Structure 1
Amino acid sequence: MDEAHARRRFMIISLVRFSGVIIVMVALLAINGVIVGLPDIFSYGLLAIGLVEFFFVPIVLARMWRTPPEDVPEP
């Protein structure tokens, strides 16, 4: 894998984390009543989605994109 490809993947993981933070912030604003008109159930669902996107999606992407070790023979 070349350096540009690795940089692109790192940027995607960083953007996923950043969007997770933005979603969590919007959800917290809605829960506290700053954003009026969103139902509580929607706000809590948005909070859960943002937390999953921040904590778990980057791990899944990194595992998907991990380079397999070269010393292990293919079955």
Structure 2
Amino acid sequence: MTVPTSVARRRWLALVGTRLAGVAGAMLGLVLAARATTIGPKLLGIAIVLAALVIIAVVPASLAHRWRSPE
């Protein structure tokens, strides 16, 4: 059973959007960490970068696994 083209397109856009949101979050965290003068904002920036990297790696893979066609 195949998935209709419109559903496949929406799923692909969701995967790409998730990756782009993760990259944007990582960039925000890098800017925050680089421009911070005290340890608090620097740690927050590093935490944002790490969370964004997890989002980039885990969320698209789990969505693709959930949407995988049955054999």
Query: Structure 1 stretches (4+) deviating beyond 4 angstroms?
Result: 35-38
Provide structure 2 residue ranges, at least 5 long, that are not aligned to the other structure: none
Residue 42 of structure 1 and its aligned partner are, at CA, apart by 1.3
The equivalent of 2:11 in structure 1 is: 9
Provide structure 1 residue ranges, at least 5 long, that are not aligned to the other structure: 70-75
TM-score (norm 1): 0.81
Residue 36 of structure 1 and its aligned partner are, at CA, apart by 7.0
The code of the aligned residue for 2:32 comes to A
The equivalent of 1:53 in structure 2 is: 55
SS in 2 for 1:56: helix
Normalized per residue, which structure has more helix? 2
Percent of aligned pairs sharing the same letter: 28
Between the two proteins, the alignment pairs up a number of residues equal to: 68
TM-score (norm 2): 0.85
1:15-69, Cα deviation, whole Å (9 max, x unpaired): 0000000000000001111x67861221111011110111221111100111110
Structure of greater Rg = 1
